[in-house]
């Protein structure tokens, strides 16, 4: 029988990682080696939804006649980032993590995540199509990673971790930051609008924020299973870098007239601090400084 090729090259120092070491049994789902990973997959499976479930019929009236210009400005920046960011997450999953991780139960989660990220991308595109009628403005928003500097900086930070030569642990943490830091502040901004307005936007935001929270928790779970974890200094460096970029995005995209948003944005920081225990550090003082 011909030898089964390995799925991807593994760094020498990562060969003893149970997640990454070559696994000739990776093509069969059972037996499950890590029940906690399988449980996460089943949670993702049970949370499946489609864009057709979201009713956008009332949103345009609220967008045109009820939201202030400052609110529309911020929402368009948030949607512009989200419309492209899910594609970046998809590229990392399909191009890196699916090839590197050798456990079938973890690959099952990633496969389902790829499907749901496509639905997120479709949903954000539909929202922009619904709200933005000017074709030039719409084109600018769909190309936000090239046309809007504060969006471009977030995208560039995420993209550099796809092609990077850093360890799997570093890249896993970086994409946990993408979904746990870059996304959370924007989710809070949309929740802030929830006062009976934009029901399609707010409902889709609830669904997507639930999904992304699970994706971030999954990254934290995988990190906890690594034998060779990052130094506390390196974790702080990666997380602080992501927090700084997110603060810059919020300051650029959020008009000062939207009072009350800072408290909601702080909620996303507190979520990150709670998750920091999974990375082996306490981030409370550092992130809030």
Q: What is the pLDDT of residue 12?
A: 47
> Using 50, 70 and 90 to split pLDDT, how confident is the model at 11?
low
Count the neighbouring beta carbons within 10 Å of the beta carbon of residue 60.
14
User: What is the average pLDDT score of the chain?
Assistant: 82
Counting residues of the chain whose pLDDT is more than 90, the rounded percentage is 43
Mean pLDDT of 21-29: 83
**Cis previous bond, 31, omega within 30:** yes
Question: 59-98: per-residue pLDDT in tens?
Answer: 999 999 988 888 888 888 888 888 888 888 989 999 999 9
Q: Is the pLDDT of residue 24 over 50?
A: yes
> Using 50, 70 and 90 to split pLDDT, how confident is the model at 287?
very low
Mean pLDDT of 21-50: 92
Q: Show the tokens assigned to 276.
A: 């920091």
Q: What is the pLDDT of residue 86?
A: 84
Give domain status of residue 285, yes or no: no
Give how far Cα 136 sits from Cα of 49, 78, 82, 140, 252, Å: 31, 18, 19, 6, 21
Give domain status of residue 36, yes or no: no
Give domain status of residue 66, yes or no: yes
Residue with token string 């609830």 = 206
Q: Show the tokens assigned to 103.
A: 């456990």
Q: Is the pLDDT of residue 280 over 60?
A: no
Mean pLDDT of 11-24: 73
Give domain status of residue 39, yes or no: no
* Domain span at 176: 53-279
Selected catalytic residue, list 110, 124, 131, 223: 124
Phi, psi of 142, deg, nearest 5: -65, -25
Give domain status of residue 96, yes or no: yes
> Using 50, 70 and 90 to split pLDDT, how confident is the model at 282?
low
Burial label, 289 (beta-carbon count in 10 A; 0-12, 13-18, 19+) = exposed
8-state DSSP, 94: I
CATH assignment at residue 229: 1.10.620.20
Cβ 191 vs Cβ 100: under 8 Å: no
Give domain status of residue 106, yes or no: yes
From CA 239, how far away is CA 287, in angstroms rounded? 8
From CA 176, how far away is CA 226, in angstroms rounded? 15
Cβ 92 vs Cβ 162: under 8 Å: yes
8-state DSSP, 5: P
Q: Is the pLDDT of residue 30 over 70?
A: yes
Q: Is the pLDDT of residue 110 over 70?
A: yes
Q: Is the pLDDT of residue 5 over 50?
A: no
Nearest to 20 by CA among 213, 128, 220, 172: 172
Q: Show the tokens assigned to 275.
A: 């998750």
From CA 52, how far away is CA 279, in angstroms rounded? 37
From CA 227, how far away is CA 220, in angstroms rounded? 14
Radius of gyration of the chain measured on its C-alpha atoms: 20
Q: What is the pLDDT of residue 4?
A: 38
Respond yes or no: is residue 131 known to be catalytic: no
Q: Is the pLDDT of residue 198 over 80?
A: yes
Phi, psi of 84, deg, nearest 5: -95, -30
Question: 137-151: per-residue pLDDT in tens?
Answer: 888 888 888 888 888
Question: 242-263: per-residue pLDDT in tens?
Answer: 998 888 887 776 655 454 555 4
Cβ 85 vs Cβ 154: under 8 Å: yes
**How many domains does the chain divide into?**
1
Q: Show the tokens assigned to 144.
A: 């936000």
* pLDDT: which is higher, 190 or 6: 190
Nearest to 144 by CA among 84, 188, 198: 84
Give how far Cα 237 sits from Cα of 13, 116, 117, 143, 266, Å: 22, 30, 27, 29, 20
Q: Is the pLDDT of residue 274 over 70?
A: no
Q: What is the pLDDT of residue 204?
A: 94
Which of the residue ranges 154-158, 208-212, 226-230, 269-273 would you say has the lowest mean pLDDT? 269-273
Give domain status of residue 202, yes or no: yes
Nearest to 258 by CA among 205, 189, 184: 189
Q: What is the pLDDT of residue 254?
A: 66
From CA 145, how far away is CA 151, in angstroms rounded? 6
Mean pLDDT of 172-201: 82
> Using 50, 70 and 90 to split pLDDT, how confident is the model at 3?
very low
Give domain status of residue 11, yes or no: no
């Amino acid at each position: 029988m011909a030898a089964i090729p390995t799925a991807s090259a593994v760094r020498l120092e990562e060969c003893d990682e149970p997640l990454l070491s070559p696994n000739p049994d990776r093509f069969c789902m059972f037996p499950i080696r890590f029940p906690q990973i399988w449980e996460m997959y089943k949670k993702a499976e049970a949370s499946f939804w489609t864009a057709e479930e979201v009713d956008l019929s009332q949103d345009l009236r609220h967008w045109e006649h009820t939201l202030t210009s400052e609110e529309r400005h911020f929402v368009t920046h948030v949607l512009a980032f989200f419309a492209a960011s899910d594609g970046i997450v998809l590229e990392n999953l399909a191009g890196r993590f699916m090839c590197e991780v050798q456990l079938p139960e973890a690959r099952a989660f990633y496969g389902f995540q790829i499907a749901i990220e496509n639905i997120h991308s479709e949903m954000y595109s539909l929202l922009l199509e619904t709200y933005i009628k000017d074709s030039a403005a719409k084109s600018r928003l769909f190309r936000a990673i090239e046309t809007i500097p504060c969006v471009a900086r977030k995208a560039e930070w995420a993209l550099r971790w796809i092609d990077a030569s850093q360890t799997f642990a570093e890249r896993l943490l970086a994409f946990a930051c993408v979904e746990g830091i870059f996304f959370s502040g924007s989710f809070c901004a949309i929740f802030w609008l929830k006062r009976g307005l934009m029901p399609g936007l707010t409902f889709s935001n609830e669904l997507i924020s639930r999904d992304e929270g699970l994706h971030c928790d999954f990254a934290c779970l995988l990190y906890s299973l690594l034998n060779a974890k990052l130094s506390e200094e390196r974790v702080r460096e990666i997380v602080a870098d992501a927090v700084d970029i997110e603060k810059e995005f919020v300051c650029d995209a959020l008009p000062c007239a939207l009072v009350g948003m800072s408290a909601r944005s702080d909620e996303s920081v507190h979520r990150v601090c709670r998750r920091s225990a999974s990375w082996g550090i306490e981030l409370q003082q550092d992130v809030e400084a």
